[in-house]
């Protein structure tokens, strides 16, 4: 058993063992069936992500509202995690402003 201070246990080999082989393997040749197999026509690529909203469902009309800091703080407290704009939109919707 080597002593604690013996560094010969940490000595590396002169030739490291390669992980990959030195020469790449030859690719396999396709069989006669694989060569004559019909190629499928390219298919239409599906859209990635969320589908678009219809133009009548988009909420892109902006309204600017000026409040005092105290009024803004009260709305922020009542809105909680929802956000002030969402909270005010919900209040207007419940009050029948959009019907």
Confidence label for 10 from pLDDT (cuts 50, 70 and 90): confident
pLDDT at 55: 92
Q: Is residue 81 part of a domain?
A: yes
Q: How far is CA 29 from CA 24, 33, 36, 37, 45, in A?
A: 15, 11, 13, 14, 31
pLDDT at 91: 95
Domain count, the chain: 1
Region 70-80: what's the mean pLDDT? 95
The domain of 96 spans 62-99
pLDDT at 76: 94
Is the confidence at residue 51, as pLDDT, over 60?
A: yes
Is the confidence at residue 34, as pLDDT, over 60?
A: no
Q: Is residue 91 part of a domain?
A: yes
Q: Is residue 43 part of a domain?
A: no
Region 23-52: what's the mean pLDDT? 76
Contacts of 80 (CB under 8 A, 6+ apart): 87
């Amino acid at each position: 058993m080597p002593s604690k201070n013996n560094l010969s246990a940490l000595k590396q080999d002169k030739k490291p063992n390669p992980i990959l082989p030195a020469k790449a393997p030859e690719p396999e040749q396709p069989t006669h069936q694989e060569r004559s197999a019909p190629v499928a026509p390219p298919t239409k690529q599906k859209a990635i992500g969320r589908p678009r909203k219809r133009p009548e469902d988009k909420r892109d009309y902006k309204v600017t509202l000026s409040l005092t800091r105290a009024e803004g703080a009260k709305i922020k407290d009542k809105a909680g995690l929802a956000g002030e704009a969402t909270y005010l939109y919900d209040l207007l919707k419940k009050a029948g402003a959009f019907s």
